Amino acid sequence: MTNNNEVVLKKNWGYNMYSKLLLTALLGICAITSMQAQQQPDTLFQFQFDNPRYSGNDAPIIYIDGKHNNLHQLDGGFAPFAKLAERDGYQLVKFSSNTALSEVKVLVIANPINSKNQGNWRRPIYPAFAEDEILTIKSWVNNGGRLLLIADHMPFAGAANELANAFGFDFCDGFAQLSDKDQGYEAFTVENNRLANSILTDGTYGAAVHKVISFTGSSFRKPDEALGILKFNQNDRCLVPEIAWQFDDSTLQVNLKDQYQGAIMNYGKGKIAVFGEAALFTAQTISQNGNTFKVGFNTPAALENIEFVRNVLHWLSAD
């Protein structure tokens, strides 16, 4: 997981780090066990934009993976993502075991996980993809396929890492933490130099974007050919526990200098976009003890995420 360019720390992150993780820990706990909490997609959220990118029968078809025990699927956690894409003119289809990859132009794989780690978020984390699947997907992209790979915090980054490695990306299978917050949120902005000026943010593929809000994901190293979009700085850390969401003063910390939470790359005749956080692409609510929290682009602070997601999909699907 580490190399000579990484700085790994093992102590003295203390109470302040615990307090920063308090809210985000709630999100992870809800994903593992109910704990008297309910996490569900916010399908009632209304989008505030006009002029969809596509219309008619020529609209691109986006397939959403459901073959790999995905936490986020078309009829589940990614239902708001599907609603956004449909509003923008895309057609959405579930990618299942009956679907031939050769029929697909755009494929979204969000938070795959090996069945051995379902309900068991402790190491070892097993790959979600067989070797032959990885070779097939790599060849498909090389021949013109468009892949959006999203792998959240542990265990999803670990489960997706062998697929990411095939394209030159390498995940830290932990919990990425920004060293400073924006009103309590993990913000990638132009001002804090974490949001790169790129074709996804400068208006080339839609509205200009100045801020993207993330909700505790993972991090990765990118190949030189990839264009980094969401970039960490040298004070940010990836926390690497043995069991997800269980942190103490012995928890490994990986310095995130030169690591990313979002990047895009042309690959052969195709394209790949890699992101280390899933909630920014969708909208969820979490209810516990009579309180309801919004997580995703339904959060008032994260409304620019909507345009960012639209831009990602437009870049991915455009010829």
The percent helix, strand, coil of the chain (3-state, each to 5) is 25, 30, 50
Domain range for 138 is 8-317
Residue 2 lies in a domain: no
Mean pLDDT by 10 residues, the chain (319 residues): 38 37 43 56 89 90 97 94 96 91 96 98 99 98 98 99 99 97 92 97 98 97 99 97 96 98 99 98 92 94 97 97
Q: What is the CATH number of the domain that holds 276?
A: 3.40.50.880
Overall domain count for the chain: 1
pLDDT of residue 183: 84
Residue 163 lies in a domain: yes
Residue 290 lies in a domain: yes
pLDDT of residue 37: 63
pLDDT of residue 39: 82
Other Cβ atoms less than 10 A from the Cβ of 319: the count is 5
Q: Coil, helix or strand for 259?
A: coil
Yes or no: say if 256 and 20 are a contact pair by the CB < 8 Å rule: no
CA distance 207 to 205: 7
Residue 27 lies in a domain: yes
pLDDT of residue 12: 34
Residue 3 lies in a domain: no
Residue 1 lies in a domain: no
31: nearest Cα among 226, 175, 230: 175
Q: At what angle do helices 131-142 and 156-165 cross, to 10 degrees?
A: 60
Structure tokens at 40: 């569900």
Yes or no: say if 247 and 18 are a contact pair by the CB < 8 Å rule: yes
Residue 250 lies in a domain: yes
Give the bridge partners for 174, in sequence order.
none
